[in-house]
Amino acid sequence: MRTRKISRTSSAYTLKAKFADILYHDFENQQLEFLKRELSKLAQRAQACFIDAGCGTGRLTGQVADELRVQVIGLDSSAHMIHRARQLNTSNRTAFKVGELEHIRGNNQYDAIFIMFTVFNYITDPRKAKKAIRSLYQNLTPGGKLIIDAANILNYIDCYKPKITNKFKRAEGTYTQEISHLVDKQEMLMHHFERFITPTGGIIKEHHALKFYPKDILQEFLEQAGFSAKKIKFLFNYSTRKPNNNYPRIIAVATK
Ligand SMILES: C[S@@+](CC[C@H](N)C(=O)[O-])C[C@H]1O[C@@H](n2cnc3c(N)ncnc32)[C@H](O)[C@@H]1O
């Protein structure tokens, strides 16, 4: 796979890559079961290959590869995340690359591309998001699947709390995560500010923005990219199709 070389690196992820395995485990089992359900048939194709786009430290990349016995390429725009992903995943079913999901240069060769845990919302410019979906469509084999596990604005508005503190107890001590959100309903944008405090008092600060893409917009982008409306389904959590306003996800599964 060739991806455009990127000069932008996210400094927050320099340090955060070390701790991502602590932070990103909230929905792990549900996510894994969901991916196995959606992708098991495709994994049985001869020489099947998937992409975990925005793979972070590869926590799902490795598990999908092992459990479905399939080749999975983990792609992330942060070199630090990829470095950590390589340390944590040594199976020869996985490979990791630095790159942006908007610039995957393949040629109808991937059987599935999955974008988990709000990574798609990091693309805050809707024109770029739309273009990204078009290019992802082109990278899929016929019958291949694109899965976008996006943030659901209803969750952030209905369950809005100015500040959230999470504690993670580990053998070496307690990690504290302090999150504050600023939701701009007009722009459908959320600013995420975070302080992550290690047991030795180290502080990592992060800010990123998430753009919300409601169901109708995602549907439009997917159809304009070439997916047939009949082959697009939406889920509002990983296990049922029932909308749930309190659930933080809106998941699009589109088959080429
Ligand atoms: C919330 S983490 C999710 C990681 C992983 N998908 C998981 O579920 O554990 C977001 C990740 O997306 C990556 N990312 C953000 N924008 C990206 C883009 N345009 N292309 C590829 N990776 C991106 C970040 O570097 C970060 O590692």
- Is 163 in the same domain as 57? no
Q: How far is the CA of 90 from the centre of ligand 1 (A)?
A: 20
Residues 121 and 204 in one domain: no
- Is there a single domain that holds both residue 109 and residue 229? yes
Three-class DSSP category at 114: strand
pLDDT reported for residue 157: 63
20 and 117 share one domain: yes
Instruction: Report CA(70)–ligand 1 centroid distance (Å).
Output: 21
For residues 37, 40, 41, 44, the Cα torsion angle rounded to the nearest 10 degrees is: 180
Residues 134 and 27 in one domain: yes
- The mean pLDDT value of the chain amounts to 86
Residue 198 shares a structural domain with residue 234: no
Task: Note whether 77 and 104 are same-domain residues.
Answer: yes
Is residue 183 located within the same domain as residue 231?
no
Q: Are 65 and 29 in a shared domain?
A: yes
Q: Spell out a b/e string for 137-176, using b for 16 or more CB atoms within 10 Å of the CB, else e.
A: bebbbeebbbbbbbbbbbbbeeeeeeeeeeeeeeeeeebe
Boundaries of domain holding 179:
155-209
Q: How many CB atoms lie within 10 A of CB 207?
A: 11
What pLDDT was estimated at residue 248? 65
Total-model pTM: 0.89
Q: Does one domain contain both 140 and 236?
A: yes
Tens of pLDDT, residues 93-120 = 999 999 999 999 888 999 999 999 899 9
Same domain, 148 and 159: no
Task: Give the HSE-up count for residue 110: Cα atoms under 13 Å, Cβ half-sphere.
Answer: 25
Who's near 127: CB < 8 A, 6+ residues apart? Answer: none
**Per-residue pLDDT tens digits for 191-247:** 888 888 888 888 888 888 999 998 999 999 999 999 999 999 998 877 655 555 455
**What domain count does the chain have?**
2
For residue 100, the ligand 1 atom closest to its alpha carbon is 20
Distance CA 219, CA 253 (A): 10
Strand pairing report for 71-76 and 49-53: parallel
Antiparallel, parallel or unpaired: β 173-184 and 163-170: antiparallel
Residues with CB under 6 A from ligand 1: 10, 13, 24, 53-56, 59-60, 75-78, 81, 100-102, 116-119, 122-123
**CATH number for the domain including 87?**
3.40.50.150
Same domain as 147, residue 71: yes
